[in-house]
Amino acid sequence: MNLDDFILPEGCTALQAMEQIDRSGQRTVFLAPGGKLRAVLTDSDIRRHLLRGGSLSVPADEVANHRPKSLPVAQRAQARRFLQQHSIDAVPLLGSEGEIVDIVFANENAALQKKNALQNPVVVMAGGQGTRLYPYTKILPKPLIPVGEVPILELLLERFYGFGCRDFHLIVNYKKNMIKSYFTDVEKDWRLHFEEEEEALGTGGGLCLLKGKLNDTFFFTNCDILIDADYSDILRFHKKRGNTVTLVCAAKQFVLPYGVVQADEKGRFEGLSEKPQMNYLTNTGLYVVEPAVVERMEDGKKQGFPDVIEACRSRGESVGVYPVSEDSWMDMGQLEELEAMRRRLEASQ
């Protein structure tokens, strides 16, 4: 990485800024026209903007903080203490004319320090029949469908393993013996626990099989997705907000390829929007959940996890949303998406 990786191009949109933050591996980028510091933009700034209903098509300048903290380059030795005092992730070091000459990050070795950072259990919904991937799933269960040469479930477990997770609970049903047999031969120091459904209990009902087995906040995920995000940061967000459940959602932007007409109740023309852009937060199928949710599950009741979330809300409990960029989410739920995931993973190797 070089300095330009953390400087936004002039005229950049919030969406482009979000993508650059993803690529950089850090959580902060800067607006610096002509090289001179003007503003700072963090992933938290973009999350707050999205949760307020803001559009990703607005200029990044509108979302950024125009009172950025900085230090003269001569005070480099004070940078670490400065970061701690102000609880920020990065501080730019400025030359005599206000130009950014270097950036000091609070976590210079972020990728290395992710290792062993988490010890939270992971629960994977791996019991579905995968009808959208037929005819593949006529032969193999969806968790064993290969993306390239490696089954999707193994890729998923590897992501969490890279953040320190070692305890995995796999809720299995359809072709469960094939799944159990495959992972018998996978040599990893993770601990796999197979929770076997006698009948399909839906995307949420299978959690009742884990009563008394989870004593800590856990990740709960579909078996057919990969999320490129900092799982440690997702957990921190969940804890800081005091959430019972946090949904990880992808910010999607759609452009309607038509002119949209506004009319009043009497059919009078009020306006025309040419190819309007629409922004949505879509459910990726990854959640952070408190163990109390499991303990109050009804045994043997078939239900979807959205029903479980709604039950939490009806109790007055906090349910949160953690946005990630659309590019951070890979889903192989359908055949064309499976091929797209394979191409992306091959390109990143």
**Between residues 105 and 112, which one has the greater pLDDT?**
105
Q: Which helix (H) or strand (E) holds 148?
A: none
**Between residues 262 and 1, which one has the greater pLDDT?**
262
Instruction: Kindly report which listed range (93-97, 156-160, 338-342) carries the lowest average pLDDT score.
Output: 338-342
Peptide bond into 135 cis (omega under 30): yes
- Which phi-psi region, left, alpha or beta, contains residue 341 (left: φ > 0; alpha: ψ -120 to 50)? alpha
Instruction: Kindly report which listed range (29-33, 133-137, 207-211, 322-326) carries the lowest average pLDDT score.
Output: 133-137
Instruction: Kindly report which listed range (56-65, 126-135, 305-314) carries the lowest average pLDDT score.
Output: 126-135
Give the residue-averaged pLDDT of 227-248. Answer: 92
Distances (CA, A) of 161 to 104, 166, 193, 303, 343: 28, 6, 15, 29, 23
Name the DSSP class of 124: E
